[in-house]
Amino acid sequence: MIAHDHDPSSSASQIGAYALGALDLEDRLKLEALLERSPELQEELRQLRQVVALLPYAAPPASPPDHVRERLFARIAAAKAESGPSRTASPPMAAASRPRLRWLMPGLVAVLAALVIALSVATVSLGSTIARLDQTNRELVASLERLEQTLAESRTRQEQLASQLAAGQEQLNILATRLQASEERVARLSAELARDDYVISFISAPGVATRQLRSARSGVLAQGEMYMYPGHSSAVVIFSGLPPLAPGQVYQFWFADETGQVAGKTFVADPTGIGYIVVEAPREVNAFRQVMVTVEPSGGSAIPSQNVILEGAL
């Protein structure tokens, strides 16, 4: 008979017997009614049936003793003689098998319980392993996210540094351009200073001769003064009051003698009409009879124009 519904140990033993088919009709009906109300017992029965299906493979093969085998064969022969061809000996055999099943029941229940415990332990161990693997996977995902964030920050920082480097390079180019312009300006100023020093030393040296250049046009107040050394080809001419030039025009200095005019260098005056030039004649300056200043196209001319501004005799 089945025990009270709430006795777990009794229910477990009855379920083991039920899985082996060893319960009588009354106990089987009561256990089935209990199974309908308990999903936990249904799951336990399912697991026990899986174990029972494996029991034939768990027992090692064994040979019965000789006297047991002889008794078994004798009983089979006697049963055949009593039943004849109809082989009606199955009810006595079924009746004889029931005591054996009840004799084997405690051992089978113990084996089933051990297997259920082993399966439970394996399930718990597998669940723990899965939980550890899941935690490890979560940690790896978090580490990967942190690594991606660090990489993104590094890329952003690299872009910022590249932008700063480009801005610095542009500023450096600007400074280099300004430096070059300053160096060129310094070079021009140095050249002008050297030329000014030369002019000052030239016009203040002993023995220098001066010649006046006067305006060749009425209404033009321009004038000039030429400093030269007899027997030398160099001369310095200082101008003042030169009128402004139109775009594309320059002043040009000329030497003249009996054979014609010799072109000298071109120049421009400052906004106040003041300027000077250092001229080099093809021979001694005092060998020429006259000098003059004309207005010419930019770049100068080979023959003087009629637009004479200054002239003087040497």
Q: What is the pLDDT of residue 84?
A: 55
In the predicted structure, residue 103 carries a pLDDT above the cut 60: no
Mean pLDDT of the chain: 84
Angle at 252 between CA 209 and CA 248, to 5 degrees: 150
CB neighbour list of residue 303: distance below 8 Å, 6 or more residues apart: 261
* Percent share of the chain, pLDDT over 90: 47
Measured in Å, how far apart are the chain's first and last C-alpha atoms?
159
CA dihedral 108, 112, 113, 116 (to 10 degrees): 180
pLDDT at 60: 61
| pLDDT band of 218, cuts 50, 70, 90 | confident
Residue 109, pLDDT > 70, answer no
Residue 140 has pLDDT above 60, yes or no: yes
Confidence class of residue 65 from pLDDT cuts 50, 70 and 90?
A: confident
Longest distance between any two alpha carbons in the chain, whole Å: 177
Query: Token pair of 126, please?
Result: 């597998």
User: What's the confidence (pLDDT) of residue 24?
Assistant: 87
Output 73 or 144, whichever has higher pLDDT. Answer: 144
- What is the residue whose two structure tokens read 């379920």? 15
In the predicted model, is pLDDT for residue 121 greater than 80? no
Cβ atoms 290, 313 nearer than 8 A: yes
Query: Among 312, 287, 289, which residue's Cα sits nearest to residue 230?
Result: 287
According to the model, what pLDDT value does residue 51 have?
A: 83
- What does each C-alpha distance from 136 to 31, 128, 133 come to in angstroms? 45, 12, 5
Tens digits of per-residue pLDDT, 4-57? 444 555 666 688 888 888 888 888 899 899 999 999 989 988 988 888 887 766
The values of phi and psi at residue 242, to 5°, are -70, 135
Q: Identify the three-state secondary structure at position 279.
A: strand
Show the tokens assigned to 191: 């050249």
How far apart, in whole angstroms, are the C-alpha atoms of residue 296 and residue 261? 14
What is the sign of the dihedral through the CA atoms of 297, 301, 307 and 313?
positive
pLDDT band per the 50, 70, 90 thresholds, residue 241: very high
Q: State the CB neighbour count (10 A cutoff) for residue 235.
A: 26
Rounded to an integer, what distance in angstroms lies between the CA atom of residue 109 and that of residue 55?
12
Confidence (pTM): 0.45
User: CA of 91: how far to CAs of 17, 70, 94, 96, 98, in Å?
Assistant: 22, 22, 5, 9, 11
Res 211 pLDDT > 90: yes
Helix (H), strand (E) at residue 183:
helix 90-203
Collapsing DSSP to helix, strand or coil, 288 comes out as coil
